[in-house]
Amino acid sequence: MGFFDKLRAELIDIIEWIDDSRHTIVWRFPRYHNQIKHGAQLIVRPGQMAVFVHRGELADVFEPGHYKLTTDNLPILSTLQGWKYGFDSPFKSEVYFVSTRQITDLKWGTPNPIMMRDADFGPIRLRAFGTYVLKATEPRALLKELVGTDSEFETDEVTELMRSMISTSLADILGESNIAALDLAGKYRDLSDQLRAHVAERIDDEYGLDIPQLFIVNISLPEEVEKAIDTRSSMGVIGDMGRYQQFQMGKAMLAAADNPSGGGAAEGMGLGMGFAMANQMVNAPGFQGQAGMSAPPPPPGGGVWHVSSNGSSEGPYTAQQIIQGLAAGQVPANAYAWTQGMPAWSPINEIPQFTAPTPPPPPPPAN
């Protein structure tokens, strides 16, 4: 390599940045020890800005376009270099390219729950997350406050700062709005706009950044509170809890009756469920007026019984059902029973139909 070829290799005549990344905000042109020659070409593509820095001082800023570097378009650098009458020799300067396009796939979330006082639940903890768009608007402030001497500045280096600012601003907005926790879902759009404006005001002047868009995707309650809300909603859907229990017991009785292998145990279980249903019906509002009756109404036909235990009566039941209930332990041995034709309630263990038959005496001895 000849002397002039070596000298030409040490001079930079084209300065440009072909951005093939999606998260780089600032990139420094790799000049190293090379010098920029007089009349070099500067190519600034759409979505970029170029900033010249001389010995740590910010100089000229170039918008998108194609430039030939001369004294005329480097006024600040000319002053710093002391070019009173122009220049025609190579010079040294750092060139930073700043991406001004929108970076869209950024996410934020509250690292810790936000405490707030709610009218329905009292003190509660809320978590939130969403997405936002970041854009560089003022290269001078960005280089001065965040980039420094880094050769590359990625969105990862500012993500933690943005999350902290968004979380703090969201806590302030929720505290001032006094919106009930159950009404927050209907306010996501308004809260997102307020949050974006609040954060943009802080980062624009100080860091040269902007948030064109910010979205709240979800604000969630603690898991135990969500379960309590689900339980409360389920009870509201069911409506009358007493009728719902009667319906469930009726289904269980039908299932027991359809089970042929259940035998006496299934029948006893059905009898016990019948007692429980009768208790619920007696305690229902429509039956309160009948609680003081001394005897049940006449049964619809003969051969049916009513059973009384602990001050309440159930029935009507057939004698066979009562016998099975006694065998299964569903009917207490000290209960009372009554059927049509009896003058009063009688202990169930004194009624012949429900007492065990006396075993016959031993047979006479054989002759």
| Chain-centre distance for alpha carbon 16 | 46
* Secondary structure of residue 236 in the 3-state scheme: helix
- pTM for the full model? 0.58
Nearest alpha-carbon partner for 300 in 340, 343, 350: 340
pLDDT per position in the chain (367 positions), as tens? 444 444 444 577 899 999 878 889 999 998 766 788 888 899 999 999 999 998 888 999 999 999 998 888 888 888 887 776 566 678 888 999 999 999 988 999 998 888 888 887 788 889 999 999 999 999 999 999 888 888 899 999 999 999 999 999 999 998 888 888 888 888 999 999 999 999 999 898 789 999 999 999 999 887 877 777 777 666 665 656 566 566 666 666 666 666 655 555 555 555 555 555 555 555 555 544 444 445 555 444 346 888 888 778 888 888 888 888 888 878 888 888 888 888 888 888 888 888 766 556 677 777 5
Phi, psi for residue 120 in degrees, rounded to 5: -90, -40
Strands (E), the chain: 11-15, 24-28, 35-44, 48-54, 57-62, 65-68, 94-99, 103-109, 114-118, 122-136, 152-154, 209-220, 304-309, 312-318, 336-339, 346-347
- Residue-level pLDDT at 233: 67
Measuring CA to CA, which residue among 1, 18, 101, 94 is closest to residue 55?
Answer: 94
Position 33 scores a pLDDT of 66
**What's the pLDDT score for residue 3?**
42
238 in Cβ contact with 177 (< 8 Å): no
Per-residue confidence (pLDDT) for residue 305, from 0 to 100: 87
Provide the 8-state DSSP code for 114: E
* Phi–psi pair at 301, nearest 5 degrees: 125, 165
Contact 97, 147 (CB under 8 A): no
User: Which of 199, 143, 148 has the alpha carbon at shortest distance from 171?
Assistant: 199
